[in-house]
Amino acid sequence: MTTTRRTFLKTGAALTAMPFIHTLPAMAAGRDTLVAVTAQTINSLDLHRTGTNRASYAVAINCYDRLVTFGTKEAPGGGLSYDYSTIEPELAESWEISEDGLTLTFTLKDALFQDGSPVTAEDVKWSFDRAVSVGGFPTTQMKAGGLERPDQFEARDAKTFVVKLDRPSKLSLPDLAVPVPFIINSKLALEHATAEDPWAMEYLHKNTIGSGAFKVIRWDAGQQVVYERFDGWAGGPLPAVSRVIMREVPSASTQRALIERGDVQVAFGIPDKDAAELAEKMTVYSTPIENCINCLCMNTNFEPFQDPNVRKAVAYAVPYEAIFQAAAYGRGAPTWGGTAEIEDTAWPRKSPYDTDLDKAKDLMAASGFPEGFSTTLSISTDLSSWMEPAALLIQEAVAKIGIETQIEKIPGANWRTASLVEKKLPFHLENFGGWLNTPDYYFFWAYQKDHLFNSSNYYNEEVERLTDETLHMAMDDPDYAPKIKRMFEIVFEDLPRVPLWQPALNTAVNGAAGYEFWFHRQLDIRTLSPAGA
């Protein structure tokens, strides 16, 4: 970072007066600076780097542009949300999709990078090449949209960029609006590239060189990120605030004290409990996370759970409402007690199950395990805020139908290894959420054999086939809805995952407006403004 102590103090007019004031009251923060707190820590300014964590995606969102972005809609539960169904321009002025759906031609806006050089199709190509070449998560996410190799991308002239697909897919265009394919100033990056580091990973790790609405002027690892507005931003309406300080505060109670006092304006991603209590005092947005479900999973590699009656008995035994209140404080959306008839393709949706102990007991009696059995119920310590209360209630409920469970808590990296990769946990909780908001995309990750989030080792031939068929199919195709409904029917019958509820992302604001929920679950600071502005 080139910001020195002196230039930093000189730049923000609002800040220069500050060192003589002991604390920064909400109003004195000026209409120019917002302070947000979050428990998450950023570990890189470059999303493409190996090991970059979720919190760091915020940098890619706020400091870089993509070709396209999603529109905005009213969110359920108040506030705004991104709108998966409308794609809007960001760096691309317009685009055309060829008749066969295989060629996407983008015309770029007259945009500038933050160093003043123009954004060209060459930069877009270099950035896309980088995303599909570096391996790991960015490459995997690009593949979801059918973007796999550099030869699919072509810079036709300075303003025209072409993507060639191997097959038409409804996921390709939305996949260009996720944080991964962000556009980098390739000339500047190449100046810092070396033979061992052709993609300038080291330089981008610590510098933001995009055309986005903000640039990072200061990053104190483990403490804060300071964003400053780029006044030449072409990707959208100029943000209302010139500076945003994203401060890392791990303790939820400290975050609460700060937001209640008004010393910070946004508390992002707070626990459900605090959201429920703060909602009485200030605006709290609790947006159900699209395409995300907290599930109780039964591993089909374990004998008792191979019995369909056992799985159904468990689904009828689960005390859904009690869990929703105790573990989520009523934040989010219920996913139980739906109709048996499936009439639309909405997902997440209410399963046809509800708490019915008598039915559960009958099903157990009819199963191969009328005497019950014992097993372990595994949860992650990182997610214990919701998994622990949910697990305790489930433990108590399934004991009534003869299933003795021991709760096993597994920490951090061990959890991912045991549950998702080795898939060796018989009975556990899981919470996959798909970025691309279509049911088939959820099924691809959570119900198809050997895919990461299929922690139940579920395999059903028909689901495999239907998922493959619908994954790239247009949603208005007449075949789409019947196939999707059939997939819902099968998994609700087979029940490898019992949906518990759709969790919410909670954000409290005190002195700020314009909060918008995004599928990537990071704070988009571009739409924020001081309250009342």
Partner 1 sequence: MPARLKAVSVRLAQAVPVIFGVIVISFLLTRALPGDPAVQFAGPAATAESIEEVRRALGLDKSLPEQFLLYLGQLARGDLGQSVSTGQPVLSELAARLPASLELTLFALILSCAVAIPLGVLAATRPGSLVDQLCRILVTAGVSLPTFFTGVVLIYVFYYLLGIAPSPLGRLDFIYLDPPHVTGFFLIDAALDGDAETWFAALKQLILPGLTLALFTLAPIARMTRAAMLSALSADYIRTARAAGLDRNKILYGYAFRNALLPVVTTLGMVFSFTLGANVLVEKVFAWPGIGSYAVEALVVSDYAAVQGFVLAMALLFVLLNLVIDLAYSAIDPRFGTSAR
Interaction site with partner 1 (CB under 8 A): 5, 8-9, 15, 18-24, 35, 41, 43-44, 49-54, 56, 135-141, 144, 205, 220-224, 245, 247-251, 253-254, 257-258, 260-261, 263-264, 381-382, 411-418, 420-421, 435, 445, 450-452
Our CA angle for 455, 504, 325, nearest 5°, is 90
> Is 479 buried (19+), middle (13-18) or exposed (0-12) by CB count in 10 A?
exposed
Nearer to partner 1, 412 or 482 (CB): 412
Q: Which is nearer to partner 1, 84 or 369 (CB)?
A: 84
In whole angstroms, the minimum distance from the beta carbon of 205 to partner 1 comes to 6
Cis peptide before 150 (omega within 30 of 0): no
In angstroms, what is the minimal distance from the CB of 464 to partner 1? 16
User: If DSSP codes are grouped into helix, strand and coil, which group holds residue 378?
Assistant: strand
Q: How far is the CB of 41 from partner 1 (least distance, A)?
A: 7
What are 57's two structure tokens? 């995606």
* Residue closer to partner 1 (CB basis): 24 or 342: 24
Q: Of the two residues 9 and 13, which places its CB atom closer to partner 1 in the complex?
A: 9
DSSP-assigned letters across all residues of 118-178? BP-HHHHHHHHHHHHHS-SHHHHHHHHTT---GGGEEEEETTEEEEE-SS--TTHHHHTSS
* Burial (Cβ within 10 Å: 0-12, 13-18, ≥19) of residue 453: buried
- Nearest distance from C-beta of residue 365 to partner 1, angstroms: 38
Q: How far is the CB of 122 from partner 1 (least distance, A)?
A: 26
Q: Using DSSP, how many helices (H) and how many strands (E) does the chain show?
A: 18, 22
Inter-residue contact 38 to 59 (CB < 8 Å): no
Quick one: 64 or 453, whose CB is closer to partner 1? 453
Strands (E) located in 159-251: 160-164, 214-220, 224-229, 243-248
- Pick between residue 44 and residue 287 the one whose CB is nearest to partner 1: 44
Element holding 374 (H helix, E strand) = strand 373-380
Q: Identify which of residues 21 and 340 has a Cβ nearer to partner 1 in the complex.
A: 21
Q: Which residues of 323-343 are buried (b: 16+ CB within 10 A; e: fewer)?
A: bbebbbbebbbbbbebeeebe
* Min separation Cβ 525 and partner 1, Å: 15
Give me the residues paired with residue 427 across strands.
298, 377
CB of 36 or CB of 403, closer to partner 1: 36
Q: Select 228 or 494, whichever has its Cβ closest to partner 1.
A: 228
HEC profile of 488-513: HHHHHHHCCEEEEEECEEEEEECCEE
In whole angstroms, the minimum distance from the beta carbon of 411 to partner 1 comes to: 5
3-state secondary structure of 268: strand
Q: To the nearest whole angstrom, how small is the minimum distance from the Cβ of residue 16 to partner 1?
A: 10
CB of 155 to partner 1, least distance (A): 26
Report the residue number, 23 or 339, with the smaller CB distance to partner 1.
23
Q: Are 172 and 165 in contact (CB under 8 A)?
A: yes
Query: Taking the C-alpha atoms of 86, 87, 88 and 92 in order, what is their torsion angle to the nearest 10 degrees?
Result: -170
CA separation for the pair 408, 127 (Å, rounded) = 43
Q: Which is nearer to partner 1, 257 or 366 (CB)?
A: 257
3-state secondary structure string, 17-46?
A: CHHHCCCCCCHHHCCCEEEEEECCCCCCCC
Q: What is the DSSP letter of 327?
A: H
CB 49 to partner 1: min, Å: 7
Q: How far is the CB of 21 from partner 1 (least distance, A)?
A: 7
Distance (Å, whole) CA 457 – CA 300: 6
